[in-house]
Chain A
Amino acid sequence: MTPEPRRPLRPRAARRSFAFVLGSALVGTVAFAALTAPIVGPLFAPDPYTQVAPRDRTPPTPPDREHPFGTDAMGRDLVSRVLYGARLSLVVAVGAQAIALALGLAIGAAAGWLGGAADAFAMRGADLLLALPAPLVALAVAAAVPEPERAPLLRLLPVPSAGLVLLVLAGLGWAGIARLVRGEIVRLRGEAFTGAARAAGAGPLRIVGRHLLPNALGPIVVVATLGLGGNILMEAWLSFLGVGARPPIPSWGTMIAESQIHFLERPWAGLAPGLAILMAVLGFNLLGDALRDRLDPRSGSMAG
């Protein structure tokens, strides 16, 4: 084998910022789409539920000037559905992550600061959750509520089926964050500045809240960002399998599932939501990696 001359590597900083810029751009695009769906969507179709394909043409109809992404198997405009899909996807992913973050911070900080039995109890709980294959647990729990629209409490949410997914993802997501937070707190608890704060008369809440958590924020932000991509993927996957957002709610996963029977002859119906998922997940992953490089000085260049 003749070794080829290796290309000189570009400076690490440049690669980092490239990932950051691309990641932010992708996430920004998806977020913009989600925010403006009620404004941009109506330019293409009155809503994501109304059939707009001509009544004499078998949907999915191919992309044209009126419907740049074409229509889906039910004759609904795909631009509108992908935009509203972004809304659903982001709300579920961010909402779930926010709850997971709140739970993880509280449980992790308490466990790390208190130590002893409380620590052991919380961390064995987290271990238990992490040991289970998350996708299968999510699938089992989501499938156990076959009709969220008619389930008690869930039915009060604006979109019960998506609300269920949000809660499931939140319930699974806190464990990793709690473990990370707990580790940081245990590490920082032994630092000199903690002792100084304590000597100055600060109470435990103040020490943890004002001194320890801010110092642990870097890795937490990174993990939370990376988790968003995972949440988006999981929501799409659950919907694809029919236990996530229910028809006719526009979810990228459902849209791909519905396009399946046409995917050989009329691929556009699955292409648009597929690319949307790619953009969103890639965006959050790049952003998370870039943030890791910036905020987490301990990790090397080997992201992942």
Chain B
Amino acid sequence: MTTAARRFARIVLLGALAGLPLLAAGCGAREGDAPAARQVFRFRLREEPPTLDPALMTDNLSESIVTNVNRGLVAMDPATLAVVPAVASSWTVSPDGLTYTFRLRDNVVFHNGRAVAAEDVLWSFQRLLRKETHSPRRWLLEPIRGAADFAEGRAAAVAGLASPDPRTVAVTLDRPFAPFLAMLTMAGASIVPREVYEDPEKKYLRAPVGCGPFRVVRVEPASLIEMAAFDRYYDGRPAIDIVQARIIENQVTALQEYRTGGLDSLDEVPVDLPDEVRPEVLRYPLMGVGYIGFNLDRPPFKGNAALRQALNYAVDKEYLWGTLIPGANIPGRGIIPPGVPGYDPDLPGYPHDEAKARALLARAGYPAGQGLEPISLWFNTSGDNRRIAEQVQADLRKVGVTLTLREVDWGAYLKAVEGTAQVPGEAQMFRFGWGLDYPDADAILRPLLHSKNIGPAGNYFRYRNPAFDDLVDRALALGDASERAALYRQAERMAVMQDAPWLFLNYFGSMTLFKPYVKGVTPTPLGEFRIPLERLRIEKPAS
């Protein structure tokens, strides 16, 4: 035996000795446990969710937790996109379309064990509306009569909210409002327990309590959020026992984790997939759009539509999504994505045309980009953002426009982008995406582009066009679906072809990895993180 071989043998022996007690302990534990193994589902979050408070959340990282912990009066079926019962078992709408009467289930319980009553609905709605809550989703409930008076502190109660008995809630609107029910399915309108959310120390931010299928059991900052099945969930206990949201920033690390079995699902899939995981990719269309927003209150985009149009023509969307980042995304032409009533298949958009870009650039006052300072393009560290930004940078360089790239984390990104209602954010251009919360053009045109929502409420671009506002407002009051769609098409054309507040990039699609033993996956156009976890099962072959 050579020296090296002998040393190797010694190491192996030592290793085996050290491992023995562990092995024995492992066997013992397995015998003592219940026969059925716990079902654990682990998915990846690219970053820490900014908040776990349903009233404050606006992004899909937070959504991945919040929508599993909370429930509202009604929910949206992830597959059919129909409004279905949740905390309310049924509802009626008065003939004038003004009063919605909800009948609550009698078996809904918060995670702290207390039964949900009509009083909780009223309190939760008031909390969302209250000014001190600072909810960016207050608009969900603003159609309710007296909501504004309550929010401004002019009234002690919301005039349009009442509970005739402990299991009935009556909601009266100011005027008929077509998407109201669909809006109530959003996380902002979740029913939360007063005793938890009145805490001045805000402990609920780290230990949220709701009445959804899963309850939060562990929050480890920047590492892990663990949820457990809620035994008394009104719709029956989920099959999955434990859900772990693992925060793994690096995409390569995440893919390695998935390959080696540390994750059961992965939402951001790189273009170059190892062959062995290729069959595990699930592709499905999402209801959303990707774009680069222009800050219309900052130079050089302020008051210069020709410049914004020029930049739109300069970027080759077909190459971007066809060759550079082939996947589930479709080159985008406008705002309303396919599948949503109001989608316009004939919208011309801005097909790649460098000559037109140059001509418009000259008309904008910057012939061949002369006189134009470098413009900063902001994006958060995530998935393909950097390559998208670099491609846009390369395309714009060809027509003489210089971009500097600002890659930051999500929190810093939002801060630079949102601004306040009065003061514009720092970012001049920023890569963004918007997934619709319910299949209605109002769910994108209003939050993102209505002048009432300038600032953190969603109109980060600070787009103001009274004619556009008017179209969107008028469509809302209409009952006829095709008339509404026609108004939305008109509004979209106005924003896209005339004002160009965005650089239109893509309609969303998703590529998500699921291990073959994860069953019951319901792909949904609502987003990767809206796949209902309570429908999942783990069916690992017995080994």
Contact = CB atoms under 8 A, between A and B. Distances in A.
Interface of A: 1-2, 49, 51, 55-59, 73-75, 146-147, 149-150, 242, 246-248, 258, 260-266
14 contacts: A2-B3, A55-B319, A74-B391, A149-B374, A149-B404, A242-B407, A248-B393, A258-B387, A260-B252, A261-B251, A261-B272, A262-B271, A265-B272, A265-B274
B393 A261 contact: no
Contacts, number: 64
Given A150-B376, A248-B390, A59 B272 contact: no
Nearest to A260: B252
Interface string B324-364: 10100000000000000000000000000000000000000
Contacts of B406: 146-147
B134 interface: no
Contacts of A265: 272-274
B390 A57 contact: no
B422 interface: no
A150 B298 CA distance: 15
B278 to A, nearest CB: 11
Nearest to B326: A58
A49 B3 contact: no
Dominant secondary structure at the A interface: loop
A58 B324 contact: yes
B159 interface: no
Interface residues of B, number: 28
B497 interface: no
B270 A247 contact: no
B473 to A, nearest CB: 39
Of the candidates B271, B319, B373, the one having the most CB atoms from chain A within 10 angstroms of its own CB is B271
B271 A58 contact: yes
B198 to A, nearest CB: 40
B405 interface: yes
B323 interface: yes
B274 A150 contact: no
Contact of A248 (B271, B272, B394): B394
B394 A263 contact: no
Interface string B380-417: 00000011011101100100000011111000000000
Contacts of B270: 261-262
B387 A73 contact: yes
B326 A1 contact: no
Nearest to B405: A247
A51 B407 CA distance: 22
Nearest to B398: A50
B374 A75 contact: no
Contacts of A246: 404-405
A43 to B, nearest CB: 21
B323 A55 contact: yes
Contacts of B376: 147, 150
B394 A74 contact: yes
Contacts of B407: 242
